Chain A
Amino acid sequence: MSVIDNLSAAWPLVANLESFLALFIGITVGVVAGAIPGMSATMAVALTLPFTFALQPITGILLLLGVYKGGIFGGSIPAILIKTPGTPASSATVLDGYPMAEKGQAGKALTMALYASCTADVMSNLALILFAGWLASFALSFGPPEFFTLILFSLTIIAGVSGKNLVLGLLSAALGLLLATVGLDLVYGTNRFNMNDPNLMGGLNFIAVLIGLFAIPEILAYIWNPQERKGSVRSLGGQHLSFKEYKRCFKSIVRGGFIGVILGSIPGIGAAPAAFLSYSEARRNSKNKENFGKGELEGVAASEAGNNGVCGATLIPLLALGVPGDVITAIIIGAFMIHGLQPGPMMFIANGDIIYALFLGLIISSILLMGVGSVAIRLFRYIADIPRPVLLPTVFVLCVYGVYAVNNNVFDIGVMFAMGALGYFMLRTGIPAAPFLIAFILGPLLEDNFRQAMLMSGGSGTILFRSPITWVFWTLTAITIATLVRKGMQRK
């Protein structure tokens, strides 16, 4: 069947009230869940899954996709307003989104986040529809050696988010790498820094670390010195984003969407690294480089484009190969199977109408996200007007509740407070928190893939140069480091 035939067969499956309603409800649920700290998009999708069993396959899957997309956008709302990323994917958004909110530009930051999300979302969907087969085979050429070089390159992001002092940034990253080693050894299964506590066997909970590092220091800082910030008026400010501003960020958004699509189509990376990579690339190429981290609109745009660009693209390995790229798509694959559909190359032949119906649904979802997102911004913006003595305790309660909810484990709350103390210390001493977080996310990936590659080759390092992809990333890494060194020399 040609594309046109498939599309005409698919249209009736989507063009009904149920499908639209499913997408609308899904996105709404996702945005709200994403906006609650600790309630990640993954959890929201997992909780929605049982409701899809009784629905038509296409309706059920659209519902889940709506939750997914809404959740990834929703996470940016608390990231910007209260410095607490609702989902790990939106932690890069904190870097510039929260400073903007401090300056009274929360409305602008939120609107930018929404527009960037939707733009990247459309790009991601188009990539899925047009290049699924091609990107999927590209993704399969990523084995541990290729992953290793990609992650190594991504670690150069640290230079981009370290602020003025690269040494402090590296110190922060080293600390992040160190704490990421807590848990069980990948290859030998032995204990590492567990202190024989079963709670530490699974490693430090990511959400607890995230919230502890960003939100708690902010609260502590206020308790310590309420006067310091009394003068600053936090209001929504000019809510409107001018077309000129959108145009200025457009290049970063497209770049972010592109990065999101590539990283999204490779199984096992996820949205958070994509957001950070997009952010650091935007900073590197921006004229306002100095303003990044202090409330730069382009930074918000790039991060949100990066993480939403991943959404549609994670469906590429799912539909083209039957491979779930991350936990969320693993849940979605479950929904396919419950209905007797088996994603993979055969599905394009056997159930082409359903695949094309999904494509159509995805396009509609970008438009709906725009609508639901605008309403959500309008509702959530009142948070910006709440005076701090009321807001911060509320945030505090939400943090504790949210961290507990991830794993229903009181221990995680302890982790959050410990990280909060560390984060406060870092805030006072000017050590940037972002490199810590990046190292904490990427460290385990780097280690795992390096060791898997070494197992594959029997300990020979040449496997790290086995394919053109590895060469590309080695070259990129070398260029980035050379540029950094040269700049450092010039400054002297």
Chain B
Amino acid sequence: MHKAKLLRSFSFGAAALGALTMGATAAQAEYPERPVTMVIPYGPGGATDISGRTIAAPLGKAVPKPILMVNRTGAGGATGSVSVKNAKPDGYTMLFARVGSHSVNPAMKATLPYTLDDFRFVGVYEINPVACAVKADSDIKSMADLVAQVQANPGKVSYNSAGVGSLLHLAGAMVLREFGVENPMKDAIHIPLKGGGAAATAILAGTSTFICTNSSALASFVKNKQLRPLMVTTAEPVVGFDAPTAADLGKPNLHKLVGWTGIAGPKGLPDDVAAKWRDYMAQATADQGFLDKMTARGSVIRLMNPEESEAFILDQYTIFRKLVDDLGMRIKG
């Protein structure tokens, strides 16, 4: 058993070596001529991982060569993102970019080892509405109540996030600010936890007052009447969330506060490769099984073309960056 395993790893090594030399000699052949590695910069079981692995199935049918899904986790998505930034821009290393790694983190962290310019997006395919919620037995019944409480007792109301630089971190501050809290950094307390699951649980355990995160992360708690939704940031209501939309509340700026997932390559990705990826993604997102699975989880599937994707992300980044600068949230150390 053991020897067989050893033998296998040897033959694997030999094959890899062969592929490497072949790749060097036949550089100009049609893309893709070998398997494509797709980096998920977050751990197994997270929103990005589930999204990436769900699209991998129809994508696998569209891409003529196998796709290798690789989780490269750490530092809020930075470790995996950097590895793709530094990869050869030949289309054989692609990244699942996410709102946290590619708009919140660049907006918040001065020390981030990459910027948006280091990547070429081939498409954003998933949008996640954001919802804010409190524990079901809380005396806060609406956004107005929440804001009133923050203003009545500055420094007493707290919100959870999945960590510094996560969407949840920025969302809590942005929502309060939109509703008229002048300095949410001082008047409300941010309690970072490790991961989105822990953040939602901490609301149930009473660690903090409210949470703003992807509606899919809260859906089951809302359905089970453990959490009470206060609002959703989209213009249209979200199924299962009996709460006003940002449009109802007259806060259209909050429509920009949504989660998303997309696929990107390193900066120098050739045009023909990018064009192929656009076709692959169009095929994959049209797959009925994929659509069913994603919408069941509360995602909105909408494929943006590369230009639209980059404009969308840049727009969100600009808004986030302005908020971060206004509130002095930028991390410089």
Seen from chain A, the residues whose Cβ lies within 8 Å of a Cβ on chain B are: 42-43, 45-46, 49-50, 53, 140-144, 183-191, 196, 198-199, 201-203, 267-268, 317, 321-324, 327-328, 330-331, 333-334, 337-338, 340, 342-347, 379-380, 382-383, 386, 391, 394, 397-398, 401, 407-409, 448, 452, 455-456, 458
Flag if B296 contacts A330 (CB, 8 Å): no
Any A CB within 8 A of the CB of B191? yes
Q: For residue A199, which residues in chain B have a CB less than 8 angstroms away from its CB?
A: 79
Q: For residue B164, which residues in chain A have a CB less than 8 angstroms away from its CB?
A: 184-189
Q: For residue B198, which residues in chain A have a CB less than 8 angstroms away from its CB?
A: 267-268
Q: For residue B155, which residues in chain A have a CB less than 8 angstroms away from its CB?
A: 458
Compute how far the CA of A347 lies from the CA of B43 in the bound complex, rounded to whole angstroms.
Answer: 27
What are 19 sample pairs from A and B whose C-beta atoms fall under 8 A apart? A143-B205, A184-B76, A189-B108, A198-B82, A202-B73, A202-B78, A321-B204, A334-B50, A342-B220, A342-B223, A343-B220, A345-B225, A394-B3, A394-B5, A408-B37, A408-B72, A448-B194, A455-B190, A458-B155
Flag if A330 contacts B2 (CB, 8 Å): no
- Chain B, 181-235, CB within 8 A of any chain A CB: 189-194, 197-198, 200-202, 204-208, 219-221, 223-226
Flag if B6 contacts A397 (CB, 8 Å): yes
- Which label, helix, strand, loop or mixed, suits the secondary structure of the A interface? helix
A456 in complex: contacting residue of B53, B73, B207, CB < 8 Å: B207
Compute how far the CA of A38 lies from the CA of B85 in the bound complex, rounded to whole angstroms.
Answer: 26
B297 in complex: contacting residue of A43, A324, A337, A345, CB < 8 Å: A337
Most chain-A Cβ atoms within 10 A of its Cβ — which of B2, B43, B208? Answer: B2
Q: For residue B189, which residues in chain A have a CB less than 8 angstroms away from its CB?
A: 455-456, 458
Q: For residue B158, which residues in chain A have a CB less than 8 angstroms away from its CB?
A: 455-456
Compute how far the CA of A186 lies from the CA of B223 in the bound complex, rounded to whole angstroms.
Answer: 31
Flag if B297 contacts A344 (CB, 8 Å): no
Q: For residue B37, which residues in chain A have a CB less than 8 angstroms away from its CB?
A: 408
Flag if B73 contacts A407 (CB, 8 Å): yes
How many interface residues does chain B have, given as a range?
35 or more
Any A CB within 8 A of the CB of B126? no
Compute how far the CA of A333 lies from the CA of B79 in the bound complex, rounded to whole angstroms.
Answer: 26
Compute how far the CA of A420 lies from the CA of B57 in the bound complex, rounded to whole angstroms.
Answer: 39
Flag if A184 contacts B75 (CB, 8 Å): yes
Q: For residue A347, which residues in chain B have a CB less than 8 angstroms away from its CB?
A: 224
Q: For residue A141, which residues in chain B have a CB less than 8 angstroms away from its CB?
A: 205
B113 in complex: contacting residue of A42, A185, A198, A203, CB < 8 Å: A198
Compute how far the CA of A35 lies from the CA of B226 in the bound complex, rounded to whole angstroms.
Answer: 39
Flag if A344 contacts B70 (CB, 8 Å): no
B208 in complex: contacting residue of A183, A267, A337, A456, CB < 8 Å: A456
Compute how far the CA of A380 lies from the CA of B1 in the bound complex, rounded to whole angstroms.
Answer: 8
Flag if A144 contacts B207 (CB, 8 Å): yes
Q: For residue A143, which residues in chain B have a CB less than 8 angstroms away from its CB?
A: 202, 205-207
Q: For residue A203, which residues in chain B have a CB less than 8 angstroms away from its CB?
A: 74
Q: 5 new A-B pairs (CB below 8 Å) besides A324-B45, A458-B189?
A: A190-B111, A201-B74, A322-B226, A407-B73, A408-B37
B246 to chain A, nearest CB (A): 25
- The residue in chain B whose Cβ has the minimal distance to the Cβ of A201 is B75
B145 to chain A, nearest CB (A): 21
Flag if B72 contacts A409 (CB, 8 Å): yes
B76 to chain A, nearest CB (A): 7
B247 to chain A, nearest CB (A): 27
Q: For residue B50, which residues in chain A have a CB less than 8 angstroms away from its CB?
A: 334
Known: A201-B74, A201-B78, A338-B293. A140 touches B205 (CB 8 A): yes
Q: For residue A202, which residues in chain B have a CB less than 8 angstroms away from its CB?
A: 73-75, 78-79
- Mark each residue of chain B from 25 to 64: 1 if its CB lies under 8 Å from any CB of chain A, else 0: 0000000000001010001111001100100110000000
Compute how far the CA of A150 lies from the CA of B42 in the bound complex, rounded to whole angstroms.
Answer: 28
Compute how far the CA of A12 lies from the CA of B200 in the bound complex, rounded to whole angstroms.
Answer: 35
Flag if A455 contacts B79 (CB, 8 Å): no
A198 in complex: contacting residue of B79, B194, B197, CB < 8 Å: B79
A203 to chain B, nearest CB (A): 7
Known: A188-B333, A327-B45. A50 touches B224 (CB 8 A): no
Q: For residue A183, which residues in chain B have a CB less than 8 angstroms away from its CB?
A: 74-75
Q: For residue A452, which residues in chain B have a CB less than 8 angstroms away from its CB?
A: 191-193, 207
Flag if B82 contacts A382 (CB, 8 Å): no
Any A CB within 8 A of the CB of B244? no
- Mark each residue of chain B from 254 to 296: 1 if its CB lies under 8 Å from any CB of chain A, else 0: 0000000000000000000000000000000000010001001
Any A CB within 8 A of the CB of B83? yes
Compute how far the CA of A96 lies from the CA of B193 in the bound complex, rounded to whole angstroms.
Answer: 35
B185 to chain A, nearest CB (A): 12
Any A CB within 8 A of the CB of B19? no
Flag if A342 contacts B113 (CB, 8 Å): no
Q: For residue B165, which residues in chain A have a CB less than 8 angstroms away from its CB?
A: 189
A109 to chain B, nearest CB (A): 18
